[in-house]
Amino acid sequence: MWNYRITTFLTGAAVMIAEIGAARALAPYFGTSIVVWTNIIGSILVALSVGYWIGGRWAERCPDRRCLGGIIMSAGALLLLPGFATPLIARGMIGDTPWLGSGFTALLFGSLLVIVLLFVVPIALLGMVSPFVLKLAARERSDIGAIAGQLYAISTIGSLVGTFLPTLVLLPTLGTRRTVLAAATLLLVLGAAQFVRRRVSVVAVGVVGLLLIALPEHPPAWWGGGTVIAAVDSPYQFIRVVDHPRIAYGSPGRALVFNEGLSTQSLAVRSGDALQGYFAVAAALPGAFAEQPVSVLILGNAGGTVGAAMQQWFPKGAVEITGVEIDPAVTALARATFAHFPEYPIAHTDSRVFLERNQRQYDLILVDAYTNQLTIPSHLVTREFFQLLQRRLTPRGFIAMNINAPRADSPLLQILLATVADVFPRVTVGHAGTAWNYLVTGSDAPIAWERLPTVAMPEPSRASVHAYLAQQAVVHRNDVARKLTDDWAPIELMTDAEVFTALRMHRE
């Protein structure tokens, strides 16, 4: 029975490692939105169901350990494919998906095809293991009910291990490809132990798997070109640092990008070059206060681009900055690769959790927290969140929020403006001059916008501030429009629709 217990434990773990590995393998190309996760979970459940059904029938026809070993080895062999084929297939899918219509449809079918091609069959084979093992165990013992309960409990415990192990250990240590290959190697060795009698053959299979894991791994290229100089798989996301000859306003620069890389999270420009667009406008915001020092909280610090500019443009001690970044791997990678990484306290926690636990009030709260590149986390766009921000402001303070939208009449931008204006009596919005960036502000007191251009910044940065102020508009309260709440905030689907509509229009 111990052989069957070990088999069910390891195959249960392999299923979850494959599932989490699938999510991370797709992240550089499709992101990790709820649409992608729905595809992954749904496909895995279908594959397991088919595997259970076929496995039960096959166990009746071939109740033999060699058949079981062949099934497990086949699953391991097929699970080797995603480690090498995912970039080739996913790049083709992401190139074609904008033609499929809405963002929901594009992500749904694009990611679904990759999952079906690379992960469904090995998962279905793993689903065949449970009924097969149960059939074999029933031939040795008569208490079938007790055996079934025990084996399913052990399989579930294996799934729990397969859930936590990759997230906490394997992905941060080995990376996505090697994690999936390690699971495949484990299955090959486990299957070979059932299929062949000679230990030397089992060892040989394990050595082949280890050699595949040891092959050099090249980080997935960024869709915008350039050279990927560093890449890290963290528990939260896939992170890349990219050097590009034209990424910084047409000049060479270094960018920090997450997952599919549809936008730049942080930017490091060459010495002597000036920040422009959103980064320049955001960095100038402390200049709106006549009295110093100004306390600033940056939610979504990433590579510290805005914070570094604030420290360069304002006198020492004039701006007191605190950063919040949920992913410590982002801070570590940016600190290692960005020449001018700022020095101020950075809390590694969720932005809303930080605000709930920290009662301090700030003069300026800059919200620039994104996941999946262009998507604001849903709990950071709701009425309740903005009410929390309001409580964390000083009487003279204001919030500023970076919102990605393709145009001023974007449904996504409009519903966010309506939500902010439902909380703050004074709200403004303006295009910040960089791609999709709109800067939205909310306050209880008037803001001295005329002071921003007086900040000691480079002239290209000052030009960006003037351009922003020239088309800044006042937002009025809209009692008719629906507001985003903690109970209703479909921000991911709305963002996906915006992204793929824009991509389709661009290609047409």
Residues 358-393 have pLDDT tens digits of 999 999 999 999 876 578 889 999 999 999 999 999
For residue 82, the model assigns a pLDDT of 92
The string of pLDDT tens digits covering residues 429-446 is 999 987 789 999 999 999
- In this structure, are residues 281 and 468 in contact, taking their beta carbons and an 8 Å threshold? yes
Residue 98 has pLDDT above 50, yes or no: no
CB atoms within 10 A of CB 418: 21
Please tell me the predicted confidence (pLDDT) of residue 92: 66
Q: What share of the chain is helix, strand, coil (3-state, %, to 5)?
A: 55, 15, 25
Does 157 reside within a domain? yes
> What is the model's pLDDT at position 226?
81
Helix spans in 128-237 (H): 129-138, 144-165, 171-174, 176-195, 199-214
Q: Is residue 251 part of a domain?
A: no
Q: Is residue 186 domain-shared with residue 292, that is, in the same domain?
A: no
Domain limits for position 20: 2-214
* CA distance readout (Å), 182 to 8, 150, 273, 386: 17, 27, 45, 44
* Domain termination residue (choose one: 177, 196, 214): 214
The CATH number covering residue 28 comes to: 1.20.1250
320 DSSP β-pair partners: 295
Neighbours of 326 (CB within 10 A): 22
Contacts of 478 (CB under 8 A, 6+ apart): 417, 418, 421, 422
Q: Check: CB of residue 334 under 8 Å from CB of residue 240.
A: no
pLDDT score for 497: 73
100 or 45, greater pLDDT: 45
Last residue of a domain, one of 214, 243, 259: 214
**Distance from CA of residue 31 to its chain's centroid?**
6
Question: Which residues, including other chains, have CB under 8 Å from residue 315's CB and lie 6 or more apart?
Answer: 292
Sheet containing strand 266-269, edge to edge, reads 227-233, 238-248, 251-258, 266-269
Distance in angstroms (rounded) separating the CA atoms of residues 194 and 114: 31
pLDDT score, position 196: 74
Q: Look at residue 223 in the predicted model and tell me its pLDDT.
A: 60
289 and 162, same domain (yes or no)? no
Q: Which of 203-212, 239-248, 278-287 has the lowest mean pLDDT?
A: 203-212
Query: pLDDT tens across 448-490, in order?
Result: 999 999 999 999 999 999 999 999 999 999 999 999 999 999 8
Q: Do 183 and 81 share a domain, yes or no? A: yes
Q: How many domains does the chain have?
A: 2
Least Cα distance to 197 among 59, 69, 10, 6 occurs for 69
Q: In Å, how far are 7, 49, 153, 398, 477 from 158, measured between CA atoms?
A: 10, 18, 9, 50, 53
Task: Decide which of 503 and 144 is more confident.
Answer: 144
Q: Where are the beta strands (DSSP E) in 349-405?
A: 362-367, 393-404
What integer pLDDT is reported at residue 332 of this predicted model? 96
Look up tokens 């709701």; give the residue: 382
* Residue (of 55, 70, 93) closest to 195 by Cα position: 70
The answer as to whether 71 is a domain residue is yes
Q: Report how far residue 171's alpha carbon sits from residue 163's, in angstroms, rounded to the nearest whole number.
A: 11
Q: In 3-state terms, what secondary structure has residue 457?
A: coil
Q: Is residue 84 part of a domain?
A: yes
Check whether 104 has a pLDDT greater than 60.
no
pLDDT tens digit sequence for 411-435: 999 999 999 999 999 999 999 987 7
> Region 194-202: what's the mean pLDDT?
70
Question: Do 190 and 314 fall into the same domain?
Answer: no
Integer Cα distance of 109 and 5 in angstroms = 38
425 lies in a domain? yes
Rounded CA-CA distance 150/131 in Å is: 13
193 band by pLDDT with thresholds 50, 70 and 90: confident
Q: Name the more confident of 505 and 14.
A: 14
Write the single-letter amino acid at 224.
G
Residues 286, 208 within the same domain: no
Amino acid making up residue 262 = L
Residue 453 falls inside a structural domain:
yes
As a whole number of angstroms, the distance between CA 364 and CA 314 comes to: 15
Given a cut of 50, whether residue 102 has pLDDT beyond it is: no
Instruction: State the Rg of the chain over Cα.
Output: 26
Residues 179, 292, single domain; the answer is no
Whether the Cβ atoms of residue 376 and residue 403 lie closer than 8 Å to each other: yes
Q: Which residues contact 477 (CB under 8 A, 6 or more apart)?
A: 421, 422, 425
Sign of the torsion angle spanned by Cα atoms 432, 251, 329, 220: positive
Residues 293 and 387 in one domain: yes
What percent of the chain has pLDDT above 90? 60
Per-residue pLDDT band at 86 (split at 50, 70, 90): confident
Residues 276 and 198 in one domain: no
395 and 292 part of one domain? yes
Domain stop point among 214, 241, 261? 214
> Based on the domain organization, do 180 and 276 belong to the same domain?
no
Residue 506: pLDDT over 60: no
> How confident is the model over 264-321, as pLDDT tens digits?
788 887 655 688 999 999 999 999 999 989 999 999 999 999 999 999 999 999 999 9
28 or 407, which is more confident: 407
Residue 484, domain CATH: 3.40.50.150
Confidence (pLDDT) at 487: 96
Query: Would you state the pLDDT for residue 101?
Result: 46
Q: Judge whether residue 507 has pLDDT over 60.
A: no
Q: Are residues 316 and 448 in the same domain?
A: yes
Q: How do 319-324 and 393-404 pair as beta strands?
A: unpaired
Average pLDDT over the chain reads 88
Query: Is 241 part of any domain?
Result: no
Residues whose CB is less than 8 angstroms from the CB of residue 345 and which lie 6 or more positions away in sequence, other chains included: 322, 323
**What's the pLDDT score for residue 100?**
45
| Per-position DSSP letters for 115-157, written without gaps between them | HIIIIIHHHHHHHTHHHHHHHHHHTT-S-HHHHHHHHHHHHHH
Q: 436 and 306 in one domain? A: yes
| 350, part of any domain | yes
Give the CA count within 13 Å in the CB-facing half-sphere of 147. Answer: 18
